[in-house]
Every structure is written in C-alpha cells, then in structure tokens.
Amino acid sequence: MAHPSQLGLQDAASPVMEELIHFHDHALMIVFLISTLVLYTIVAMVSIKLTNKYILDSQEIEIVWTILPAVILIMIALPSLRILYLMDEINDPHLTIKAMGHQWYWSYEYTDYEDLGFDSYMVPTQDLTPGQFRLLETDHRMVVPMESPVRILVSAEDVLHSWAVPALGVKMDAVPGRLNQTAFITSRPGVFYGQCSEICGANHSFMPIVVEAVPLEHFENWSSLMIEDA
C-alpha cells in the first residue's frame, strides 16, 4: 500500500514485481552515473581554462564515446527483455478468474467453479468503516490463494478499461470484444489495492480493484460460502 510522500515503488507482493523493482534500481543507478559524469564534464569545461589538444582531436576518445553508450544500452535492454518475457509466462495456473470492466465497476467470474461470480463496486465515503481507504475499498474483494499461479482473463463490456494492481506488478488493458490474459503469484498474504488505469469516462476514478491473498484453506472456505450464498 502506498503512503503519503512515498518516493519509491510499493513493496513487492509477487516475484515479477520484485524483478521489476530490481530492474528499476539497476536502470536508476546507470542514469545516476551518466548524470554525474555529464555534470562533472560541464563543470570542468566551465571552470578550467587550460585546453588539452588531445581531447579536441582524438580518434581514441571518439571510439570510446561511441562504443560506451551502446554497451550501456545493452546492459539496460537485456534485463528488460528478460522481465518482459517473464511477465508473459503463464504456466499451469491453479485458478482462472475473468475480470470484466464496466462503467464503472468490475465484475469477477471464477471460471473453475460453476456458480461463483460477483460485481465489485466502490464503497461510498459515507459507508466506510475505520481502517478502510477512501476511493480504494470495494464491497466485494477478489480473493485468491497465496503462492498459487492465478490467471486473469481481462475484457470490457462497454469502453476501454485497464486492470492494474501495482504491488503485484500487473497491468492489463480491458478491450471490448477482446480477451487479454495475464498471471501473477502472490508471495505473501495481504490486501493489495489497484485502480482502473485507462480513462473510461466520468467515474473513471471510482472503480477500484482489491485483491485479497489468503492461505489455500481459507480460500476454499470462502469459495464454499460464496457458492452457498449464491
């Protein structure tokens, strides 16, 4: 969960998000080193009056500053491509959930069960209980078993939406008439918040996403109760 004045990313709750945070730190360090070198060069050129004739016309220096940026780009591109393919991996999911975007709420259907589905609306501010977050809490949470591969099928019924949960490293566009899929594994129990990340109309800000990761035994009890209530 993000907090006020937070500078970094949210704490990772999935292996993919951990990889994304590591890559962010890796790229940020490279940018910091480049910025430091450029700043030093500018300060040196402005403050030092002496001129080195070998810097003004040097074949060796031109070779270095041509090859070095290419090497730096490779150092950034290879880890980036690795994570990109990791995010597309969907291996033997234990659970499949269909998330359908509407104006302006989400509906979830657990396709492995015959009759398990519900709509998820934002809880109005006046109905919040102590400890709940304004504009982020829903009346029905999407409950998943922790440490289990979960596949999410994302689509929309009316306009473009986007199903995004930052702590899980998941963001998938919901396109009417098209079924997109993504997957995640929650590495710890908890409640993880997200929001629609595609401008979808007047109430775009009021269709939050809440994913609750629980142990498998608790998930089985929850699913049984939901089916009985249905």
Whether 114 is covered by a domain: the verdict is yes
One domain for residues 68 and 173: no
One domain for residues 149 and 215: yes
Average pLDDT over residues 215-220: 94
Average pLDDT over residues 220-227: 91
From first CA to last CA, the distance across the chain in angstroms is: 31
Split at pLDDT 50, 70, 90, the class of 60 is confident
Average pLDDT over residues 134-139: 94
Average pLDDT over residues 1-16: 88
One domain for residues 67 and 153: no
CA distance 141 to 119: 9
pTM of the full structure? 0.86
CATH number at residue 144: 2.60.40.420
CA distance 117 to 142: 10
CA distance 68 to 112: 52
pLDDT digits (tens, 9 = 90+) for 102-123: 999 999 999 999 889 999 999 9
pLDDT exceeds 90 at position 146: yes
Identify the domain containing residue 68 by its residue range. Answer: 13-86
Average pLDDT over residues 187-195: 94
Total domain count for the chain? 2
Average pLDDT across the chain, whole number:
92
What element of type H or E holds 37? helix 15-47
